[in-house]
A and B are shown apart, each in its own frame.
Chain A
Amino acid sequence: MSLRRIEGRVLVVGDNVDTDAIVPGRYLTITDPKELGKHALEGLDPAIPGKLKERSIIVAGRNFGCGSSREHAVLALLGAGVKAVVAESFARIFYRNAINRGLLVLEAPGARQKITDGDKLVIDLERGVLVLASGETLPFKPIAREVLEIVEAGGLVEKLKKELHHGGR
């Protein structure tokens, strides 16, 4: 997560996108991100996995990722090449899973109203803003300290490796 700047085209989705929509139950014996990625958000619209070939940022409404704790949802998005999800708000288990797996998740109130499906979007992590297609900038909520620690360690597994090898607390 040393990325300072993420740039990509946007897929806009609505409120309460649940984990069954992100990866339907019938694919849950799969754990390979690439394979899961072929079905990312298929529950919402079967055309989305195809679209994601050229979209790398999802802009969503409220409560993105609600429902099941399945980490497959995060793996599917990563496998489909999604680099970041910008939403009004996130469901909590999805949010933690995303952080732990290195999928950037940002809360940016009001972003969805100003962004159109297919727009180009720049996420400037250093300045803490989104740069919209129009050139307008929009701030996102700062990332909490404890979350940043995990992100900086390179995800929870990397943090875990350090702790196990150093007998850390």
Chain B
Amino acid sequence: MAVNSITARILARASGKDRVEVGETVVAKVDKVMIHDVTGPIALDIIDDLKAGIPSPENLYVFLDHYSPSPSISASNIHRRFRIFAKTHKVANFFDVGEGVCHQVMVEGVVRPGEVVVGADSHTTTYGALAAFATGVGSTEAAYAILTGKLWFKVPEPLHVRLEGTLPSYVNGKDVVLSILGVLGQEGANYRALEFGGPGLRALSMSDRFTIANMSVECGAKNAVFPIDDITVNYLEEFGILPNSSSLSYLKPYEVESPHLTLNLDALEPMVAKPHSPANVVPVSDVEGVRVDTAFIGSCTNGRYEDLLIAAKILKGRRVSKDVRLVVTPASRRVLVRALQDGLIKILLDAGAVVTPPGCGACFGGHLGVAGDDEVVISSSNRNFVGRMGSPKARIYLASPATVAASALEGCITDPRHYLE
């Protein structure tokens, strides 16, 4: 049976076939490969060991983002190695510390609809919001794709999610994806392609879509795809990419007879994932009042301009609770500059936030806001596993930037809708 999914259509084209079946193994041409300073060194070991040249360095994207700027000698030495590697192999797409989190920069005019992109990072699924096939791989497979320009994939079974209605105020993409995770569970989409559709797509900005595609991996999805529509096209045009709409018709929204999951956006509330799983999801009202020590806004999930904007809206003219540290990490240089120009950074600083340079630091417990023993964190990032953000004794709650901002003000988990004007 032919597969009704954009994922299958992209994989068929990339492997030179008219059509592919679910479960079929294809060897697909890979358009772009991404590695960074945590997963990259293992790929570099392999490339060095093989003494292999990189056939198409223009397809390789290298990021120093997890330790940005470096907090340790060991990280600095990794960075030195990458800089030499980039020069030796003439890697032009080299993003040194301060440029931003790989996934954010990759959607700022790099990834194009219909492409096959692999990244040595699980949140590579983010780029599926641009109607691309994008998935996370290990370092060895990244090295393989860098050296051969191809990789094998099993065509995933689609899991169709139909969205209806429109989002209420102070409810956004994070609440959508947390709701989905709550329904599907931590492995509910294992090996599958989340394919989004329905009239509710119109209610989702690109920022919302990136957040949803990003966290799709938390229910095990291999990838996530949003079809291309006016919102996608307008976004790409901002970066000077003018998609040829007639040649991209295979990426447009399509009808699905019986979606696996239907979500009514009108009925959504702000959601929170409790410790220690992103799928341990409840409405914010269930956890309101839980005292927090640290609030974090940032990461590839929710460190975009729109995220800083909604946080600034809530924080403007107010002051973060004296018992809470609010750390804000813009996801990229571009995001930081725009937030600076529009006055958002000043609002955040005036409210008592610590604003850090762009990078992955706090989200993975690297630096710039590491959680201590018994601390409670409310975070706009993507994972709340034991020890994810630092001490294994810390407790992490995941929520939208709006919920994090409201909670930072109150000193405890708070429904952002209390700040609706």
Contact = CB atoms under 8 A, between A and B. Distances in A.
A96 B138 contact: yes
A167 B386 CA distance: 45
Interface string B47-66: 00110100000000000001
Which interface class (under 10, 10 to 19, 20 to 34, 35 or more) fits A?
35 or more
A164 B122 contact: no
A26 B136 contact: no
B140 A71 contact: yes
Contacts of A67: 122, 383, 385
Given A63-B190, A68-B122, A146-B152, A100 B25 contact: no
A117 interface: no
Contacts of B119: 69
B190 A20 contact: no
Nearest to B219: A66
A28 B277 CA distance: 21
B258 interface: no
A77 B181 CA distance: 28
A67 B220 CA distance: 8
B141 A100 contact: yes
A25 B141 contact: no
Contacts of B140: 71, 97, 100-101, 155-157
B75 to A, nearest CB: 5
Contacts of A161: 50
A56 B38 CA distance: 27
Nearest to B49: A157
Interface in B122-158: 122, 124, 136-141, 143-144, 147-148, 152, 154
A29 B38 CA distance: 7
Interface of B: 25, 38-39, 41-42, 45-46, 49-50, 52, 66-67, 72, 74-75, 78, 119-122, 124, 136-141, 143-144, 147-148, 152, 154, 186-187, 190-191, 220, 222, 277, 364-366, 383, 385-388, 390, 392
30 contacts: A16-B186, A18-B385, A21-B387, A24-B365, A24-B387, A25-B364, A25-B366, A26-B390, A28-B38, A28-B66, A29-B75, A31-B42, A63-B186, A63-B187, A68-B121, A68-B383, A69-B119, A69-B124, A69-B136, A70-B138, A71-B39, A71-B120, A97-B141, A100-B138, A155-B140, A156-B140, A160-B50, A160-B143, A164-B52, A164-B148
Interface of A: 16, 18, 20-21, 24-26, 28-31, 43-44, 62-63, 66-72, 74-75, 89, 91-93, 96-97, 100-101, 146, 155-157, 160-161, 163-164
